[in-house]
Amino acid sequence: MTGSTEADARAALRARQGPGARYDAPLAPACELALARRGTAYFARVLNGLPDEAFAAPSRLPGWTRARVIAHVGYGARALARVVESVRTGADLPMYESEAARASELDLGASLPPRALRNLFRHAAVHLDVEWRDLSDAGWDGSGRGRDGAPLAVRATPWLRAREVWLHAVDLDGGGAVRDFPPDLLDRLLAELAAEAGVKAALAPTDRPGPPATGAGPKVSGRAADLVRWLSGRGMERLSGDLPDDLPTLPLPRDDG
């Protein structure tokens, strides 16, 4: 399809959708937004597969029920939406009022009935997506206040959301798996998690082209998904090599959102 044909098809689609439809700004981070939206749909699919009576059962996060994970993901979308909205409107909207308020909100959310938690996740995800779509090109270069009060670039919020929804879909222990992650997500997670975990090992993803290993230390081989699962503290299945002693442990959720 030629460029002009693609442009014509895009214009025709927008005409059919009408003047009320929202679109991302031309300079929005398209790849990160796509990963966040696909991850939201993936989390929703896993969530929809959980019966209500399973919400009170343990998740894969130590000490966290599935209900608490769902509440965390829902309130995380609201928090990131506040960051984006603060840039869009100029209002001073902190990501969280305080650590105490955030903890109290999460405790309350974890106690909500399943129907309320499903609605929380769905409505919060839509709200965040609307904030992204309403942001101008200039807005994408702005910064709001992160959890600790330090500046948080709006352009970083789609990637933070992508990390959260994909990994926590696995934590629901309802059929989500790292092997389902798209290749571009796995590659970025592999690089980031290796740096964050601080594991002294030469990582060798067997399903990726390029150098046989990256990093220094004993060689650890496996598919990219298996390496990501290990580096995020979610298991060490199907890995080979001299696994280092400083194995990552499963962390509590990152609070980018």
67 in Cβ contact with 77 (< 8 Å): no
pLDDT at 86 over 60: yes
27-176 and 183-241 agree in CATH topology: no
Task: State whether residue 143 is helix, strand or coil.
Answer: strand
Task: State whether residue 204 is helix, strand or coil.
Answer: strand
pLDDT at 7 over 70: no
Q: Give the residue-averaged pLDDT of 97-112.
A: 94
Domain boundaries, the chain: 27-176, 183-241
Q: Residues 146-168: pLDDT tens digits?
A: 988 899 999 999 999 999 999 99
The residue behind tokens 């609605």 is 119
Q: What is the pLDDT of residue 250?
A: 59
Q: Which fold has domain 27-176?
A: Four Helix Bundle (Hemerythrin (Met), subunit A) (1.20.120)
C-alpha to C-alpha distance for 128 and 161, rounded to whole angstroms: 10
Q: Does CATH number 3.30.1050.20 belong to domain 183-241?
A: yes
C-alpha to C-alpha distance for 202 and 206, rounded to whole angstroms: 12
